[in-house]
Structure 1
Amino acid sequence: MNKICTAAEAVADIRTGQAIGSVGVIGWLTPDALLQELARRFRETAAPRDLTFFFPVSVGDAMGIRGMDHVAIEGLMKRVVSGNFINTIDPATGKRPEMMRLIRENKIEAYCWPIGATMHWLREVARRSPGYLTRIGIGSYIDPRQQGGKYTLRAEKDLVRLMEIDGEEHLFYPSWPLDVGFLRATSADEYGNLSFEDEPITSSALAMALAVKASGGTVIAQVRKIVPRQARLVHSVRLPGELVDRIVVEPTPMMTTDVRYDDAYLGGQIFPGHGADRLPPGADKIIARRTAREIRPGVPTIFGFGASSNVPAVMMEDGAFDGKGLLDYRFTTEHGPFGGIVMSGWQFSANKYPEALIDGPAQFDFINGGNCKTAALAFAQLDAAGNVNVSRFGAANPGPGGFIDIAYNAETLLFTGTFTTGGLEVNVEDGQLAIVREGEVRKFVGQVQEITYPVGANVAKRRQNARVITERAVFDIEPEGLVLTEIAPGIDLQTQVLALMDYPPIRIAAPLPLMDATLFRP
């Protein structure tokens, strides 16, 4: 059987009511041609209809690499289950993604699971087990006593259950079949053996293929090129042809958003000791510099998406990696690269100059096993009970990504972000921080809109250490609440900190130290 075909031929047999899984990590590894072709077929023929889509991670950037936004169409999509959603505004159109519109307007059944659950759930489908069982997520939004991961009113079915085993609470994600799987790799031979030599991560590719085949489904792989059979070293072939049914060649995909190709993401290169990337002056840079003071050489440290991922770039700029200094640090993300420089923005997920790589499910084994001792994560809201929210706030529904698994299993938690948001502007003059324009939205709120992680409860129960770092103040999270430990030079405690919080700290250090003046210098 010749497995090589066009994208139209590859998706021609997808039927109404089926469940489609797709790999992709924002712009990385996204099989965009397959998703685009499925959408084209629906627009031209009104078929297939009422599909369920399973995205372990948000697929595409909803801009140049549209990914899941291709198939965010009423009628085509009935239900979506995803580890997170892209929520950015497209600068070319001024619009948010279509997926966000469908969720906000309650047009589809939308569920958002932690990425650790989406990755490990695939394993359970692959081995035809009843489902995925975990302690992680108790007390958060994924707990059925909260929302059960439901993001729209149409999402009435309970896809997550609460179970008690030997007196301990667990969350259970029942298995259900995947009929079609979309993958992306670099090379395939005519039999379908896949290698990923031009892809910096492999994410859930193997787990997805195994889950779809265990369900009796069809696996379709988008690749850059066809190579002769037996032409590659076996160690480079990560997915055997027995798991691949169809192959579609798309020779010129973007590596990721704004990156056509950059082999620095593939390893095998020595870090030159510096880089061109520099964070512009402002609140984010102050936060990153202060957070960098908490990062220790030799300690496995994981960075999340958002403000926290700026830290390595600032460390590089400030000389921490000069010479062979980078080798002293062990940086990773939830997507499996080890070593090198964690990137920020749309290039987050893969590292430049990495030394090792494992796939998505194995990375969450690493995380859940407590191997990431320090975690730097962003925050959107923090309430008086010590609950942190990054998954749903205002009109944004980005979901948690890997946040819950990372936060639950780290020993030291660093929550990073601006003190307020929505138009905040700051300036630094003579080592003093000045608020030019205050943000319109408070982040220290009486009650979070959604509990992504109950920090205070776990500080008390599991003895985690947690700190909140902003551009103007630093807090420690204790079981009883926040303790203000530092304030920026030039900031008024009463009017620019306490008056902008919906609740007071339980304690203020006396005397209250100033944040290091060097953080505010060029």
Structure 2
Amino acid sequence: MTKIVTAEQAVADIRPGQTITSVGVIGWFTPDAILQAIRERFDRTQEPRDLTFYFPCGTGDAVGIRGMDHVAVEGLMKRIVSGSYINPVNPVTGRRPALMSLVQENRIEAYTWPIGASMQWLREVARRSPGYLTHIGIGTFIDPDQTGGRLTSKATEDLVRKITFEGRPMLFYPAWNLDVGIIRATTSDDLGNLSFEDDPMLSSALALAMAVKACGGTVIAQVKRIVERGSRAAINVRIPAALVDRIVVVPEQMMVTDIQLDPAYLGIENRPLDQLKTVPFSPAKIIARRASQEVRKHELSIFGFGASSDIPLVMAEDGRLNETTVDDYSFTTEHGSYGGVVMNGWQFSCNINPRAVIDGVSQFDLIDGGLCRFAALAFAQFDASGTVNVSRFGTVNPGAGGFTDIAQSAQRLVFTGTFTTGGLKIDCTPEHGLRIVQEGRSRKFVEQAEHVTYRLRDGVARGQSALLVTERAVFSVTPDGLILEEIAPGIDLRRDILAQMDFTPVEIRDPLPLMDADLFKP
């Protein structure tokens, strides 16, 4: 009996109440056709109902590659557990993803986990251990003393427990059953041996397949093409047929949002760095330029989503990163691409001109082990107690992604973000420096953060160093609070900085240095 089936056939026997898990990283690596087939079956038959969905990372962009938004419908989805959530505005409709409505309107049980835990938990399920034990996340949103990762009041189960192990507080994620796993690859033979020639990441595909099979479940693989048995070197087959039950062929599957296939992401075609896209002049570009001054050669450096992912592109645009120097820098993201240049926007997660790629579970082993000594991460809120929030604020619930693992484990940290948000407008001239034309509607330096993604002051107390870089000021972080280290030329200290904060820095350098004027040149 052949394993090759249609997407409709692949999902035909998913039963009500089952738990479905899928790979995917934004638009990368998303088995979109299979997730769509689940939704289409539900629309036709109102079955299957009350499913639990487990996404180790935010899956799909909710626009062209809808991913988890396909299955974001009440009745079909009862519960979701995800390492991150996708929340873009659709450029055509102007709407937020359907999944965000379900969360914000408390219509499903929604949980968010750090991506490190969501990936490493799969390994524990695969080896039938009681669960995943870690110190990462103590005191943050995932700690049961905070929210235990709950995003809605319907989410009442304790999926994470706080225990004491050898006198140390730890977080324990109990194992539970996975019924159906959906993975993606480039190529399969008729047996189901999978390789990844056109995919620049491996994510959690292997761990997910092993976990589902250990639970006695079904693994469905979406691939681009079928090849003859024995036509590939066995060393290039990363998932064996014993872990794959069904194969769905989707010849037109995208590499990522807006890109059908780009060999430069695979490391088999070198993209000249002077041909990379440029970052438009904006507050984010000023921030990326200043943050890039903290990047060192020969230090494994990891970059997060948002303004921090602009840093390598700005370095290339300004000539610091070129064909001669590129291999003096070691750049990565939480998804396992090494070398070359980290990309931003929808293309964040993979690197142009990479030198190596490892799987996502191994990448978080490396991150949690502290091997990424330098990290540049975005921030949405910073509060008077030294807490950083990126995971939940206002009506946005993006989750932490890899932030908590990265922030807790790196030695040198730079947090990037505009001073205020929501309508901020600036102007720069050589004569007057930076001028705030319109202040943002929302403050980011707040008395108390809405969500605890990382307690930075605790990290600084145990030896981490940290800077907060904005378009108008640079702060260092101490156990006692913020020190204002630099100010942009043209900025008024009281009007543009102190009056826009809900708390006061513990110190202002005197004399107060100006940020480099070159940062503000268009």
Under a length normalisation based on structure 2, what TM-score does the superposition of the two structures give? 0.99
Distance 1:465 1:275 in 2: 35
Q: 1:334 aligns to what?
A: 334
Shift of 1:434: 1.0
Q: 1:440 aligns to what?
A: 441
Shift of 1:271: 4.8
Q: 1:254 aligns to what?
A: 254
Q: Which whole-Å deviations, capped at 9, do the CAs of 1:387-438 have from their partners, x for residues lacking one?
A: 0000000000000000000001000010000000000011110160111111
Partner letter of residue 505 of structure 2?
A: P
Correspondence list, 1:382-421, <5 A: 382-421=382-421
Q: 2:99 aligns to what?
A: 99
Distance 2:481 2:327 in 1: 37
Shift of 1:89: 0.7
Shift of 1:41: 0.3
Shift of 1:117: 0.2
Q: 1:28 aligns to what?
A: 28
Q: 1:458 aligns to what?
A: 459
Q: Which whole-Å deviations, capped at 9, do the CAs of 1:179-199 have from their partners, x for residues lacking one?
A: 000011100000000001000
Asked if 1 retains the 8 angstrom alpha-carbon contact of 2:298 and 2:330, the reply is yes
Distance 1:144 1:289 in 2: 38
Distance 2:270 2:68 in 1: 35
Distance 1:260 1:269 in 2: 15
Distance 1:323 1:85 in 2: 36
Partner letter of residue 59 of structure 2?
A: V
Q: 1:480 aligns to what?
A: 480
Distance 2:279 2:489 in 1: 21
Asked if 2 retains the 8 angstrom alpha-carbon contact of 1:138 and 1:169, the reply is yes
Partner letter of residue 262 of structure 1?
A: D
Shift of 1:154: 0.2
Asked if 2 retains the 8 angstrom alpha-carbon contact of 1:110 and 1:151, the reply is yes
Partner letter of residue 440 of structure 2?
A: G
Asked if 1 retains the 8 angstrom alpha-carbon contact of 2:264 and 2:270, the reply is no
Distance 1:81 1:90 in 2: 23
Correspondence list, 1:79-90, <5 A: 79-90=79-90
SS class of match (1:238): coil
Asked if 2 retains the 8 angstrom alpha-carbon contact of 1:141 and 1:149, the reply is yes
Shift of 1:235: 2.0
Aligned positions, number:
521
Distance 2:386 2:284 in 1: 23
> Is 1:226 matched with 2:220?
no
Q: Which whole-Å deviations, capped at 9, do the CAs of 1:366-402 have from their partners, x for residues lacking one?
A: 1011100000000000000000000000000000000
Q: Which whole-Å deviations, capped at 9, do the CAs of 1:175-229 have from their partners, x for residues lacking one?
A: 0010000011100000000001000101000000000000000000000000001
Distance 1:221 1:39 in 2: 17
Distance 1:246 1:322 in 2: 45
Shift of 1:281: 1.0
Distance 1:446 1:278 in 2: 36
Shift of 1:258: 1.1
Shift of 1:233: 1.1
Q: 1:380 aligns to what?
A: 380
Distance 2:477 2:269 in 1: 40
Q: Which whole-Å deviations, capped at 9, do the CAs of 1:449-468 have from their partners, x for residues lacking one?
A: 000000001211x2100110
Distance 1:383 1:19 in 2: 38
Distance 2:351 2:507 in 1: 39
Partner letter of residue 434 of structure 1?
A: R
Correspondence list, 1:10-409, <5 A: 10-409=10-409
Asked if 1 retains the 8 angstrom alpha-carbon contact of 2:62 and 2:68, the reply is yes
* Runs of 4+ residues deviating >6 angstroms: none
Asked if 2 retains the 8 angstrom alpha-carbon contact of 1:275 and 1:316, the reply is no
Partner letter of residue 424 of structure 1?
A: L
Asked if 1 retains the 8 angstrom alpha-carbon contact of 2:336 and 2:363, the reply is yes
Q: Which whole-Å deviations, capped at 9, do the CAs of 1:292-331 have from their partners, x for residues lacking one?
A: 0000011000000111000000000000122321111000
Distance 1:492 1:297 in 2: 35
Shift of 1:274: 1.9
Q: Which whole-Å deviations, capped at 9, do the CAs of 1:323-378 have from their partners, x for residues lacking one?
A: 32111100000000000110001100010100001000000011011100000000
SS class of match (1:219): strand
Please report the RMSD computed on the Cα atoms of aligned residues, expressed in angstroms. Answer: 0.7
Q: 1:5 aligns to what?
A: 5
Asked if 1 retains the 8 angstrom alpha-carbon contact of 2:24 and 2:31, the reply is yes
Q: Which whole-Å deviations, capped at 9, do the CAs of 1:268-303 have from their partners, x for residues lacking one?
A: 334524223111112111000000000001100000
SS class of match (1:148): coil
Distance 1:270 1:223 in 2: 25
Q: Which whole-Å deviations, capped at 9, do the CAs of 1:214-260 have from their partners, x for residues lacking one?
A: 00000000000000011001121110000000000000011111112
Distance 1:500 1:141 in 2: 26
Distance 1:137 1:273 in 2: 37
Partner letter of residue 15 of structure 1?
A: R
Asked if 1 retains the 8 angstrom alpha-carbon contact of 2:312 and 2:321, the reply is no
SS class of match (2:63): coil
Q: 1:494 aligns to what?
A: 494
Partner letter of residue 453 of structure 2?
A: T
Relative distance call for 1:273 and 1:33 in structure 2 (3 A) is closer
Under a length normalisation based on structure 1, what TM-score does the superposition of the two structures give? 0.99
Relative distance call for 1:323 and 1:350 in structure 2 (3 A) is closer
Bigger shift: residues 422-431 or 245-254:
422-431
Distance 1:154 1:6 in 2: 35
Partner letter of residue 164 of structure 1?
A: T
Asked if 2 retains the 8 angstrom alpha-carbon contact of 1:268 and 1:355, the reply is no
Distance 1:453 1:275 in 2: 37
Distance 2:303 2:502 in 1: 28
Q: Which runs of 5+ in 2 are unaligned?
A: none
Distance 2:365 2:166 in 1: 23
Distance 1:341 1:495 in 2: 38
Partner letter of residue 22 of structure 1?
A: S
SS class of match (1:164): strand
Distance 2:274 2:36 in 1: 39
Distance 1:98 1:114 in 2: 22
SS class of match (1:102): helix
Identity fraction in percent:
61
Q: Which whole-Å deviations, capped at 9, do the CAs of 1:5-43 have from their partners, x for residues lacking one?
A: 011110001000000000000100000000000000011
Distance 1:129 1:516 in 2: 53
Distance 1:453 1:252 in 2: 40
Distance 1:178 1:351 in 2: 31
Distance 1:470 1:273 in 2: 26
